[in-house]
């Protein structure tokens, strides 16, 4: 059985591969600052995309995307602002916040049993 940290790393890798197959380019993984963490920072053509990855074994208690509260959104926005301050050259690009919610059993490492729910522009800043 994977630890919570291993599950997080694995699902972030799955989400990253999923989006790379759709043409995204990874800029940074697990950006941390005093406000919080952004799982993936990617570029979709000329758009800078800040991505929150959520995993749920099942949707019995709601999807991963539904677990992103207004407080979490605020932390993500502040963290993205900190990233942009550190990478001023990226300020010229439009930006958005996406969510990738992954549901299913990851214990078997069989991605056929995993469902991806990608929500573009999940919330605004």
User: What does the alpha-carbon distance between residue 121 and residue 125 come to, in Å, rounded to a whole number?
Assistant: 10
Q: Which pLDDT score, from 0 to 100, does residue 64 have?
A: 63
- Please state, for a pLDDT cut of 90, what percent of the chain lies above it: 56
Quick one: CA dihedral 10, 121, 89, 17, positive or negative? positive
Residue 17, domain extent: 4-123
Q: What pLDDT is attached to residue 59? A: 60
For residues 72 and 54, what is the distance between their CA atoms, to the nearest angstrom?
12
Does pLDDT of 4 surpass 90? no
Q: Is the pLDDT of residue 109 over 60?
A: no
pLDDT, tens only, 54-91: 887 656 566 666 778 899 999 999 999 999 999 988 88
CATH number of the domain bearing residue 32? 3.40.1350.10
Instruction: Give the SS3 label for residue 45.
Output: coil
- What would the two tokens of residue 124 be? 């605004």
CB 37 within 8 A of CB 31: yes
In this predicted structure, what is the pLDDT of residue 12? 92
The yes-or-no verdict on residue 123 having pLDDT over 90 is no
| Alpha-carbon span 62 to 42, nearest angstrom | 26
The pTM assigned to this predicted structure is 0.89
Cα distances (Å, whole numbers) of residue 81 to 4, 58, 69, 91, 103? 27, 33, 18, 10, 29
Mean pLDDT of the 25-36 span? 96
CA–CA separation, 40 and 22 (whole Å): 15
> Residue 110: what pLDDT?
57
Which 3 state secondary structure label does DSSP give 22? coil
What is the bridge-based pairing of β-strands 114-123 and 47-56? unpaired
**Total count of domains within the chain:** 1
Mean pLDDT rounded to a whole number for the chain: 87
């Amino acid at each position: 059985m994977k630890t919570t940290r291993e599950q997080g790393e694995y699902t972030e890798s799955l989400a990253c591969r999923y989006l790379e197959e759709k043409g995204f380019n990874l800029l940074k993984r697990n950006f941390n600052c005093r406000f919080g963490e952004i799982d993936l920072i990617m570029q979709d053509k000329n758009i800078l995309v800040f991505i929150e990855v959520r995993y749920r074994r099942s949707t019995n208690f709601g999807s991963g995307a539904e677990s992103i509260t207004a407080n979490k959104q605020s932390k993500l926005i502040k963290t993205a602002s900190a990233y942009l301050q550190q990478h001023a050259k990226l300020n010229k690009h439009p930006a958005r916040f996406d969510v990738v919610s992954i549901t299913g059993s990851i214990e078997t490492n069989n991605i056929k049993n995993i469902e991806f729910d990608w929500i573009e522009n999940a919330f605004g800043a």
